[in-house]
Chains A and B, each alone.
Chain A
């Protein structure tokens, strides 16, 4: 089964600074990759997804992520962080196996934005 590692439990950046959240996955075939954001007490909002094609994907709120097969990574980036970006970010990997669309989440990275 697939698995996801988010090495950074907590990251603090200053408002206006750039951001990169790391995600590494383990899966034998080409995975489907996702980034979700969760504000406290809220549900999961999809930021972006990768299924195939261009390895640099654009998402909502100015986020992007790059799929690097050689590194088994799907890092999330944003050039200039806003205070409203403070939240928990989850990377997830999915795979379409017979009769089952299997998704696993990473442990999450909590983002704090300093003024």
Chain B
């Protein structure tokens, strides 16, 4: 069964460094998403992406965040200058229509 994959599973970085989180969505899906879950809190929507552009973004998704679909398979989330409060689990998801399929997540730890 096709699934969404994410790499790395765990990323540790120093405050101020740039990180790129990678996702491979399900191949025939058209919509792509990033969510964030701070430890012990709910899953928060960051951004959705369709037809090579951002469809919607939340207030969390400020100028330090960017997304890209550099080729036909990958979907990336870049955090330009990480802050301590960016430490969280980041989930990628993709959908063909209404049901989103989630990846296993990348745990980002900012020191």
Contact = CB atoms under 8 A, between A and B. Distances in A.
A100 B102 contact: no
A70 interface: no
B24 to A, nearest CB: 15
B18 interface: no
A104 interface: yes
A49 B99 contact: yes
23 contacts: A34-B99, A42-B104, A43-B102, A43-B105, A44-B91, A46-B99, A46-B102, A94-B100, A96-B98, A99-B50, A100-B50, A100-B55, A100-B56, A101-B31, A101-B33, A101-B97, A101-B98, A101-B100, A102-B45, A102-B48, A105-B42, A105-B44, A107-B41
Interface residues of A, number: 23
Interface of B: 31, 33, 35, 41-45, 48, 50-51, 55-56, 91, 95, 97-100, 102-105
Contacts of B41: 107
A43 B104 CA distance: 5
Contacts of A44: 43, 91, 102
Select the residue from A43, A51, A94, A105 with max chain B CB neighbours within 10 A: A43
A103 interface: yes
Contacts of A106: 42
